[in-house]
Chains A and B, each alone.
Chain A
Amino acid sequence: MFRYIVRRLLQMVLTFFGATFVVYALMFANIDDPLQALVGDRPLTDTQRSALNAQYHLNDGFFTQYWHYVSGLLTGDLGQSLTGRPIGDMLAQAWPVTMRLALLAIVIAAAVAVGAGVLSGLRRGGAFDTVTLVLTLLVLAMPIVVLAPLAQLVFGIQLGWFPPTATRDANLYQLLLPALVLGTLVVATELRVTRASVAENLRSDYVRTARAKGLAPKRVVGVHVLRNSLIPVVTLIGVDIGVLMSGAVVTEGVFNIPGVGFNLLRGIRTEDGPLVVSFVSVLVIVFLVINLIVDLLYAALDPRIRYE
């Protein structure tokens, strides 16, 4: 187990550098004139331009720029955004709010998905199952670019149940509506996986054994069906946490939440290479760590899996 974790951590280092390199290369290829993008429509004098070029190494070749970036990274200096703000500070401000938003979203989504999924898996073809089937299809079919402004308009402005936007220091109540919207990204799939898994395990031989042992239906489901059924669901939920943290771009944009997605979107628009690369790199790390945790959890849930 220990050796497995060490090996995975070493793999993570490689993956991390690979990913930053690719992102850096993509960003480099995409940059047209970041300085003009920075100042907008105002004219930029030649002296200003050359000073900024020198500050951000914009005239150097790709590998030199990448080298500047990585060496900064290794000494703990994430560098500056093209707006002049230290990227480290920006990350420190953006991550907590995104983290809160994503975790709130996943808790809501997972609770709904597992609860409703187990119920509809137990009574397939029943009224509840049919209704959830239709609802999940609806949710799946509704893109978040439609859902987010719609929810903001109806619940945030017309009904006034929730604040229509959230700030950096948003409390859970302010984040509730964005979290619900964000949760729709993953709730439908999680629900369908839970349902299918429960239905499959209900038909399994060991459930027949449990019934032959004279156990009450409550115990058959609660002890024997549930734990087996949740193994694939837990994996999915783990991966979804990563999806929600990186996938909050639209939601954060609509609800004006200054999180990771919000910054990322702005960075891409202003061709702010250092900013984009740093944010994506942190996302990569988060993904890798979550995947490792999920894999370890998987082994804890299913004794047949042992990591050597």
Chain B
Amino acid sequence: MTDITAQMDALPGMDPRAPLLHVDDLHVEFRTRDGVARAVNGVNLWLNPGETLAVLGESGCGKSVTAQAIMGILDTPPGHVTAGRVLYRGVDLLRLPENERRKVRANRIAMIFQDALSALNPVYTVGFQLAELFRVHRGASRREAKRRAVDLLDQVRIPDARRRVDDYPHQFSGGMRQRVMIAMALALDPEVLIADEPTTALDVTVQAQIMSLLADLQRQRNMGLILITHDMGVVADVADRIAVMYAGKVVEDAPVYDIYAHPAHAYTKALLESIPRLDHKGQPLNVIRGLPPALTDIPSGCAFHPRCAYAREICRLEPPPSYQIAPQRVTSCHFVREVLGV
């Protein structure tokens, strides 16, 4: 769309040849009465146009906080970005003044949330909430904005969009609500879409529909998609690359095929082994013993060592460095060779 290109030029220091999105050594902490919770401790991520990056991890590993920091919608206080850069086409979003940053949201980087019922405002029609984007960001007239809202609902395959545009969120089913959420995120043709557990609140058949809708829309628009999830099944189907997070760090980043075939981090391997399998029927499930660490008290060295089968003395003492084990494959594990079995 022409108006988007026009706005792109307006962002100072932007380089169209620079990577679409590059998160560099991001640190986020929450300063609470009970102490400082270090939610994100040096996350590195990158994303190319048309690519799907899955960010995988247990609850509380910092996935959502990373996403909110990229969007700039952290609750501050208590959340603070303490270090790092979020480069969008070479522009560090963290250094942009708030009124510039606001134009990035929804226009270039958009986000959808887990629970579409609470993420939509209950007292306004979905049409109002969609049209709002065109009216605020594009200065569209009421009539024009509504026409485009109906268009969007059509695009996310909501039947009878012309009538449903005047309905309220509670009048939609869970899956339809998530479609509305997707429509809202895609309204202004962003280049990056962050989907924070978009299907967790939905039942399995609806999950599949939503994921395939997302994949279709992504392909049509050549959009970069960051898919935040803890569902390994969803990841395997749609992701190009996976970044596995643990205690606020990316511990392994690799193409999806490689990670499933040859996990290169003890945590990734343990995660994969914990997936219930039909051919193991009747046997006890493999679980990762223990709990993820409290973010106020992250273990020294490798944060995973108290739960790790490979852990030795060095894991407790020294944080593992990043090993580049192949092009596009990075892992932070002291015993990467043992884990890989080479």
Contact = CB atoms under 8 A, between A and B. Distances in A.
Contacts of A84: none
A206 B132 contact: no
Contacts of A301: 123
B132 A209 contact: no
Q: Which of A204, A212, A215, A227 has the most CB of B within 10 A?
A: A212
Q: Is the interface of A mostly helix, strand, loop or mixed?
A: helix
Contacts of B28: none
Given A205-B113, A228-B123, A212 B71 contact: yes
Contact of B123 (A210, A213, A227): A227
B119 A209 contact: yes
A302 interface: yes
Interface residues of A, number: 23
B122 interface: yes
What class of interface size applies to chain B in its complex with A?
20 to 34
A211 B73 contact: yes
Contacts of A1: none
A43 interface: no
A214 B113 contact: no
Contact of B73 (A203, A208, A303): A208
Contact of A205 (B71, B118, B123): B118
Given A214-B103, A214-B104, A228 B75 contact: no
A302 B169 CA distance: 12
Nearest to B98: A217
A177 B121 CA distance: 41
Given A213-B133, A214-B102, A224 B121 contact: yes
A212 B106 contact: yes
Nearest to B167: A303
A168 interface: no
A212 B105 CA distance: 6
B120 A214 contact: no
B136 A304 contact: no
B111 A228 contact: no
Nearest to A205: B118
Given A208-B113, A209-B113, A219-B136, A214 B122 contact: no
B168 interface: yes
A80 B16 CA distance: 89
B170 interface: yes
5 contacts: A205-B115, A213-B184, A224-B121, A227-B124, A228-B122
Interface of B: 71, 73, 75, 99, 102-107, 110-111, 113, 115, 118-125, 132-133, 136-137, 168, 170, 184
Given A212-B106, A214-B104, A303-B122, 16 more contacts: A205-B119, A206-B118, A208-B119, A209-B119, A213-B105, A213-B132, A213-B136, A214-B102, A214-B106, A214-B107, A214-B136, A215-B132, A216-B99, A227-B123, A228-B122, A303-B170
